[in-house]
Amino acid sequence: MTAFETSWRRMANTCSDQSGRIPEREAAQNPTGEELAGSAVFLTGMKDLEGLDAAAVETRVIGWWEAGAGDNCRIVAEKLASLPEPFMTVAFHNRTRAFAAGLATVRSAFDRYGRNELTYSEAMFQIGVHFSREGHEGRSWIDSMNDIAALMRWQPTYERACDYVRGAVLTGDADADRLRSSLIGLMKQPHRFLESAERDRFERTFMEFKQRYANAYSRAHEETVGEVPGSTAGLSGIDRVALQNLQLLSQIAGTDRTQLTQVRLILAWRRARRCPLPARAILEQKPRCCCNFVPAAVFSVQASATELNRTVREGIEHLRAELRARRRTIIANLEAEGADENDARQVAALLSRGPVIPLRQRTIEILNAVLKKYPGRP
């Protein structure tokens, strides 16, 4: 405990009645120079006041208050009294309650001094007794106020970040979604942001999240509803050769058209939601494109280009398996249906387990003719 703290506690113990009330004028009749200087140093953070006489200390302290400290205290008090929703937590209130009480005491003492209701000695005595009762962590009061003021200046930045995080949606990108969860956890503990290191940590995490989120969201947007110059509506990123092969194979009599139906529904979904807006640029300011695209909706209908291409491939393989089951009948009757070398090459690729080459309508018509003529034959 410092000498100044000792003198403050002595003032608090000897100058208050049993109710805890401080009889201002009686108690402050004879405060020592050390007591007044202790209050001034703690209040202003100006350690060089310790060696000055009482008149010089008073001049410096009043000048400090009138030069801007008073206005700063007023602004901080107003902001503390009207904190936005993100800061309305019990933990934040508990961390700032003692400071708010001290702020009220300091402002009251200087206001009353300005109205000639208290002398300088009485005002500083009142401040000193308050802080001697509350205790502190060895830091000057002005340092604590500067910390609060820094938080208030950071508040708009924090609120914008909170709005962005709350408006963000799951993207399917593990890193982006993990960072989003981490930020939501930090936002539930706003009292931690009284420390500058915690504010810096939040900003770093938010910037990393925003970059990863924007990349994942814009990629999903482009693959699903984005319009690429020169592309057919809804077909951006789609393997068109494979899609055409699936459509042709589904024309064969008796084949399962389930996958083709699913693909057509997804394509209709994509066309109805196509968006020409620059999602990546929009995400610099907002967590979603103006079309309100949500990647999670894409997951539920498998509407991304990647998922749609996978569905097309699965449909083709399913139909090829049906044709392989009737391999002997097809091969034995191709020539009779007028198949040429190109037709034979396409059919051979279909019946193999290798890649499929682009199909022609004529080849499908030949296959249909064979299978209709010999239904049920393997």
Question: What pLDDT does 9 receive?
Answer: 47
Q: Distance of alpha carbon 129 from its chain centroid, rounded?
A: 45
Question: What pLDDT does 134 receive?
Answer: 60
Mean pLDDT per block of 10 residues along the chain (378 residues) reads: 47 44 48 75 84 87 90 86 83 85 90 92 85 62 82 91 93 92 93 92 96 92 68 63 89 84 79 82 92 71 70 90 89 87 89 89 89 79
Question: What pLDDT does 182 receive?
Answer: 95
Question: What pLDDT does 135 receive?
Answer: 57
| Separation between Cα atoms, residue 220 and residue 365, nearest integer Å | 38
Q: What are phi and psi of 275, to 5 degrees?
A: -135, 125
Which amino acid makes up residue 376? G
| Contact in structure between 345 and 357 (CB atoms under 8 Å) | yes
Sorted by where each begins, the domain ranges of the chain are 3-141, 240-275+299-373
Residue corresponding to tokens 């003719």: 369
Instruction: Please measure the distance between the N-terminal and C-terminal CA atoms of the chain and give it in whole angstroms.
Output: 98
| Contact in structure between 356 and 350 (CB atoms under 8 Å) | yes
pTM over 0.75: no
Question: What pLDDT does 3 receive?
Answer: 45
CA-atom Rg of the chain in angstroms:
38
